Structure 1
Amino acid sequence: MSDADLLFRPDLLAKYGANGPRYTSYPTALQFRDDFDPALYRRAAADPGASDTDLSLYFHIPFCDTVCFYCGCNKVITKNRARAKPYLKQLLRELEMQAALFDTRRPVSQLHWGGGTPTFLSVEEMSTLMAATREHFTLRPDSEGEYSIEIDPREASPATIAHLRGLGFNRMSLGVQDFDPVVQQAVNRIQPLEMTVDCMNAARANGFESVSVDLIYGLPHQSVKTFRRTLETILLLAPDRLSVFGYAHMPHLFKMQRQMDANTLPSPAERLALLQLVIEQLTDAGYVYIGMDHFALPTDELALAQKQRTLHRNFQGYSTRADCDLIAFGASAIGKVGDVYAQNAKDLVTYGGAIEEGRLATARGVQLSADDRLRRDIITELMCNLELRFDEFEAAYGVRFLSTFAPEMERLRDFEQDGLVARSTNRLEILPAGRMFVRNIAMVFDRYLSAQSSERYSRTV
């Protein structure tokens, strides 16, 4: 049986099908505590030992003009552009307060605007926010920093793209999901191909270094035939990266998903066929399969980082900057500073009230224990580099890996017998057939998982 055959065995899908985290953090956000003391975050920010590491900045812009029924992001649906004005004022105040906590001589090597729809802001508002960022923090030169923004092609004209490049953005991700008009209608995202083409052409004309495209498989009315056309179209546009996510249907958590007819969702077997199509078509076209859901040209930084074992994972997905402290701004945004995760209040009223009172809007968080740090690094290695080198953990943490994790090693026996992982005396490797089960394999090392918590997560495949 070939690797391709092993990748898509329905019996393994049935055996290992489960709900589980995507591990953009460990512990995951479900372990964040409502009684978290913001003083822990402030102490981590002031740690002089972090002065030799760079900073990463994330800004959450929650507004969208229309709702996409599949979306599970923290967002505010409104056509009233004036709602951005008070929010921007609060972001500027938060910038000032956060900057006061850090040694701002530490350079910023990564910046990301996400949402929502960041270009909901006017060009003047975007200019104001970026100017304030440069006033309070030290951004590395364009040639050294990764400055990215999420783009909805329905919201960004070529003139907008040119303006963003002038502000310093040099990378972008374009939301597409699917080009099929029936699928677009079902998910309430009508986006003609020309809009995406115009954005990509403008990005290249203005010197953006990397353009990524987001796709989703598992949406209503999708089939192998229709999604193949979407992939063929995308390949003609030749983005530098693609993120291809499996749709997580969780209407008990996201009410807007109830607007879609669940009977039109692909069956588990059809989802598997769609995933098989994605992997085969993109790798045949020369893209490198990154982690569990990203693809990149061999020359792209993500592919190079995976090759050099420096790939990292954070709240925005896969990243090339592993050692940055992440400072987060805006409602619901999550930062990671030292061994502390801190999340802002999710709703605009609570977030804005705290900022206007001169307080950080931290609502939840967690400080990692020594065990958390060890397991976080194990899970990160599995999710990013698809292997564990036991001697590296023994040197870094002073543990005997196989004895410390003897129960976990025993639970991996089934994965090993099914040809998903291989273990030697000093190494655990995820085999090609195990790549789609990487979340399941990482879950073995998660000491917080329970049947109750798993209901809050999406299906692993």
Structure 2
Amino acid sequence: MSDADLLFRPDLLAKYGANGPRYTSYPTALQFRDDFNLDDYRHAAEDPGATDTDLSLYFHIPFCDTVCFYCGCNKVATKNRARAKPYLKQLVREIEMQAALFDTKRPVSQLHWGGGTPTFLSLDEMSALMAATREHFALRPDSEGEYSIEIDPREASARTVAHLRQLGFNRLSLGVQDFDPIVQEAVNRVQPLDMTVNVMNAAREHGFESISVDLIYGLPHQTVQSFRRTLDTILMLAPDRLSVFGYAHMPQLFKMQRQIDAAALPTPATRLALLQLVVEQLTDAGYVYIGMDHFALPTDELARAQATRTLHRNFQGYSTRADCDLIGFGASSIGKVGDVYAQNAKELPAYGAAIDAGRLAISRGIRLSADDRLRRDIITELMCNLELRFDEFEAAYGVRFLSAFAPELERLRGFEADGLVARSSNRLDVLPAGRMFVRNIAMVFDHYLGTQPMERFSRTV
């Protein structure tokens, strides 16, 4: 039996196919409160006991030159590059205000620019934003830190890549989605192959440590044959990591998705065949199936972190840097500081008005309870390291795991019977076939699920 046969269980997809969180946080953002007490964030930031914890910085750049019809991100589509100028001034002011709350001797070991399209900014604007960041925070040398940026190859040249490396970025994430021109036209993302190749070649030439590529299956007009060609091309390019997401068609939530012809979407049977193709081709090519929709070469730090139980999740997805306090900058960005989650205002006018008035733009958030912290750690262990060692939770939280989570363990019996998890007296392990259903397994421990509108979440498989 091949590795793909162990990982892919089509007989269970219908049984476990459901909407559910991706658990970039627990509790999820749906639990954030509009009446959040900003003092909770300030106290967490100023906590003198956190000085041994590194910082992680996330910057949200919401602008895109053109909009991709499938996208559900917080974005502003505009061809007016001047719109970035006032936003950058506000980001710099926010950097100053956030830095005033933290002990800025704490090193920054992780930084990420997301969007939108960060490369919407000019080279000079990128330099100015990074200079302001370095002025107020102590970034580790790029040989020690993880500094990443999301790249749209339509917006980036070899010169852009060289400039980003000079600024200290050492990891790139490239949006591709599909190389088929018919699919690209249908989703308003026309991106010839040479654009992607040029960016990847430049990244390797300038010493970027990891290159990640995003693909999407389930887009209009995709077939098994066409997506096989896309995967064949990607494997020739050999990125270090791949994220292969299932398209979630939710036009009731994301207005732009109404531009997609629902009749052109693959049938459920074709989606299933596409997913099987992804698992088979990538694992046969030597990629490690990290879980959910992520794959990495065995040499990539993501796979190494999972092997050493140091993999983590944050609001950008899987991360190799655990235990960092995360500061979010920009509209809609989310931070995690101590036991507090805090999100900035989503819309640019509200975000800008707060910053221009000299206030943090945090508009909602939550302070975690003791139960939240325990369940967060359980869900993180499942999602990242695919196991629970009961004694570790008992030592850390003073609970008797088997009795405290007896109802949850009982609900996992069905997963055991289906060969997705294995349980002994002192641990629970996610089996190879369970990696595809790890969100479903984690959902068993989610205290809030019954109170959340499930249609707000994507399908788990």
Given the two structures, how large is their TM-score scaled by the length of structure 2?
0.98
The 8 Å contact of residues 291 and 385 in structure 1, kept in 2 or not, is answered as no
Structure 2 CA distance for aligned equivalents of residues 449 and 2 of structure 1: 35
Quote how far apart the aligned CAs of 1:267 are.
2.0
Quote how far apart the aligned CAs of 1:131 are.
0.3
Matching of residues 20-419 of structure 1 within 5 Å: 20-419=20-419
Secondary structure of the residue aligned to 1:216 is strand
Secondary structure of the residue aligned to 2:449 is coil
The 8 Å contact of residues 106 and 138 in structure 1, kept in 2 or not, is answered as yes
For 1:443, the aligned partner's letter is M
Quote how far apart the aligned CAs of 1:245 are.
1.1
For 2:231, the aligned partner's letter is L
Quote how far apart the aligned CAs of 1:452 are.
5.0
The 8 Å contact of residues 4 and 279 in structure 2, kept in 1 or not, is answered as no
Secondary structure of the residue aligned to 2:39 is helix
Structure 2 CA distance for aligned equivalents of residues 158 and 378 of structure 1: 43
The 8 Å contact of residues 3 and 283 in structure 2, kept in 1 or not, is answered as no
Distance 1:10 1:297, change over 3 A: closer
- Map of 2:14 onto structure 1: 14
Secondary structure of the residue aligned to 2:176 is strand
Give per-residue Cα distances to partners, 1:404-443, cap 9 Å, x unaligned.
Answer: 0011011111111111111111111111122111111100
Structure 1 CA distance for aligned equivalents of residues 32 and 222 of structure 2: 36
Give per-residue Cα distances to partners, 1:272-323, cap 9 Å, x unaligned.
Answer: 2211111111111111111222111111111110000000001111000011
Secondary structure of the residue aligned to 2:456 is coil
Q: Which moved more, 1:286-295 or 1:135-144?
A: 286-295
The 8 Å contact of residues 7 and 434 in structure 1, kept in 2 or not, is answered as yes
- Map of 2:429 onto structure 1: 429
For 1:33, the aligned partner's letter is R
Give per-residue Cα distances to partners, 1:82-129, cap 9 Å, x unaligned.
Answer: 000000000000000000000000000000000000011111111100
Give per-residue Cα distances to partners, 1:205-248, cap 9 Å, x unaligned.
Answer: 11111111111111111111111111110111111111111111
Structure 2 CA distance for aligned equivalents of residues 193 and 426 of structure 1: 50
For 1:352, the aligned partner's letter is G
Structure 1 CA distance for aligned equivalents of residues 452 and 399 of structure 2: 31
Secondary structure of the residue aligned to 1:450 is helix
The 8 Å contact of residues 35 and 364 in structure 2, kept in 1 or not, is answered as yes
The 8 Å contact of residues 351 and 361 in structure 1, kept in 2 or not, is answered as yes
Secondary structure of the residue aligned to 2:382 is helix
The 8 Å contact of residues 408 and 445 in structure 2, kept in 1 or not, is answered as yes
Distance 1:178 1:347, change over 3 A: same
Quote how far apart the aligned CAs of 1:11 are.
3.6
Question: Unmatched 5+ residue regions in structure 1?
Answer: none
Structure 2 CA distance for aligned equivalents of residues 200 and 372 of structure 1: 41
Structure 1 CA distance for aligned equivalents of residues 316 and 223 of structure 2: 28
* Residue identity (%): 85
Structure 2 CA distance for aligned equivalents of residues 7 and 138 of structure 1: 42
Output the aligned Cα RMSD.
1.2
The 8 Å contact of residues 240 and 296 in structure 2, kept in 1 or not, is answered as yes
Given the two structures, how large is their TM-score scaled by the length of structure 1?
0.98
Distance 1:190 1:268, change over 3 A: same
- After the TM superposition, which segments of 4 or more aligned residues of structure 1 sit over 6 Å from their partners? none
Distance 1:402 1:2, change over 3 A: farther
The 8 Å contact of residues 123 and 160 in structure 1, kept in 2 or not, is answered as yes
Question: Unmatched 5+ residue regions in structure 2?
Answer: none
Structure 2 CA distance for aligned equivalents of residues 8 and 163 of structure 1: 41
The 8 Å contact of residues 8 and 272 in structure 1, kept in 2 or not, is answered as no
The 8 Å contact of residues 220 and 265 in structure 1, kept in 2 or not, is answered as yes
Structure 2 CA distance for aligned equivalents of residues 234 and 15 of structure 1: 31
Structure 2 CA distance for aligned equivalents of residues 97 and 367 of structure 1: 21
The 8 Å contact of residues 379 and 445 in structure 1, kept in 2 or not, is answered as yes
For 2:287, the aligned partner's letter is Y
The 8 Å contact of residues 182 and 221 in structure 1, kept in 2 or not, is answered as yes
Between the two proteins, the alignment pairs up a number of residues equal to: 461
Secondary structure of the residue aligned to 1:455 is helix
Structure 1 CA distance for aligned equivalents of residues 332 and 78 of structure 2: 18
The 8 Å contact of residues 8 and 279 in structure 2, kept in 1 or not, is answered as no
Structure 1 CA distance for aligned equivalents of residues 452 and 202 of structure 2: 47
Give per-residue Cα distances to partners, 1:123-176, cap 9 Å, x unaligned.
Answer: 111110000000000000111011110000000011111111111111110000
